[in-house]
Amino acid sequence: MAVIIEEGTISNGRIVLSKPLSLPEGTEVRVQIEPVGTAVSDDENQDKDSNESEDFANLPCFGMWADREDMRDSVAWVRKQREMGGTTYR
């Protein structure tokens, strides 16, 4: 199912949406709260980016192609794969 993004307000501790959702009654959903228009400082953005970079670098797959001679030039490698019948997105 596609992700639905709606904006609403908080009233008496509840989320009030501007219009009803077109989902069947009883559908379980996951809600992610993101205050609209809340300014985030550059320091907070840099801290978040730094943490995400560190998390990514710790993944087991990080750097797994580092020693592949055929992938030294990633653009050329992708071009070759596409020429051999790989998927091309347009």
| pLDDT tens digits, one per residue of 31-85 | 888 888 765 566 665 665 666 777 888 888 888 888 888 888 889 988 988 888 8
pLDDT of residue 56: 81
- Could you read off the pLDDT of 13-40 as tens digits, one per residue? 999 998 888 899 999 999 888 888 765 5
Sorted by where each begins, the domain ranges of the chain are: 41-82
Instruction: Put residue 72 in one of left, alpha, beta given phi > 0 → left and psi -120 to 50 → alpha.
Output: alpha
Query: What pLDDT is attached to residue 89?
Result: 63
Closest CA to 78 of 65, 59, 67: 65
Tokens of 72: 């030294």
CA–CA gap between residue 75 and residue 72 (Å, rounded)? 9
SS3 assignment, position 15: strand
* Per-residue pLDDT at 45: 58
**Pairwise CA distance, residues 6 & 2, whole Å:** 13
Q: Which two tokens stand for residue 62?
A: 């990080």
- Provide the β-strand partners of residue 9: 16
